[in-house]
Chains A and B, each alone.
Chain A
Amino acid sequence: MKYIKFLFIGIFFGIVLIKAQVASWYRFEEMFLFKSFYMYGVIGTAVLVGSISYQLITRFNLKTFYGEKITISKKPMMFKAQLFGGIVFGLGWALGGTCPGPIYAMMGAGYTIFLVSLGAALLGTIAYGAVRRYLPH
Chain B
Amino acid sequence: MDVVLEWLRAPWPWYISGALIGLMIPIMMLGANRRFGLSSSYRQICAASVPLNLSYFKNYDWKGQAWRLWFVLGILIGGFIAGHYLEGILTPDIEDSARQVFSSWGLNEVQGLLPEELYSWDGIMTLRGFLVVVLGGFLMGFGTRYADGCTSGHAIMGISMLNPASFVATISFFIGGVLMTHLILPYLLKL
Give residues in A with beta carbon < 8 Å to B: 3-33, 35-38, 41-51, 53-54, 57, 62, 64-65, 68, 70-72, 74-79, 81-101, 103-113, 116-130, 132, 135
- Docked-complex contact A50 and B140, CB < 8 angstroms: no
- Docked-complex contact A75 and B149, CB < 8 angstroms: yes
Shortest Cβ distance from A89 into B: residue: B143
**Shortest Cβ distance from residue A82 to the other chain B in the assembled complex, whole angstroms:** 4
Shortest Cβ distance from B41 into A: residue: A100
Residues of chain B within 8 A (CB-CB) of A16 are 17, 20-21, 78
- Docked-complex contact B23 and A113, CB < 8 angstroms: no
- Docked-complex contact A25 and B160, CB < 8 angstroms: no
Q: List 20 A-B contacts (CB under 8 A).
A: A3-B67, A16-B17, A18-B89, A24-B114, A27-B113, A32-B182, A41-B14, A41-B15, A46-B19, A50-B24, A70-B29, A82-B147, A92-B143, A93-B176, A108-B82, A109-B89, A116-B124, A121-B42, A122-B45, A124-B140
| Cα(A15)–Cα(B24), bound, Å | 12
Interface size on B, residues (CB 8 A): 130
Residues of chain B within 8 A (CB-CB) of A82 are 147-148, 154, 165-166, 168-169, 172
**Known contacts A14-B75, A85-B146; is-contact A21 B141 (Cβ 8 Å):** no
**Known contacts A21-B17, A35-B101, A96-B136; is-contact A26 B76 (Cβ 8 Å):** no
Interface assignment of B162: CB less than 8 Å from any CB of chain A: yes
**Known contacts A17-B75, A42-B21, A100-B150; is-contact A3 B70 (Cβ 8 Å):** yes
**Shortest Cβ distance from residue B19 to the other chain A in the assembled complex, whole angstroms:** 5
Residues of chain A within 8 A (CB-CB) of B12 are 19-20
What 0/1 readout, one digit per residue, does chain B (74-113) give for beta carbons within 8 Å of chain A? 1111111111101011001111011001100000001001
Residues of chain A within 8 A (CB-CB) of B136 are 92-93, 95-98, 117, 120
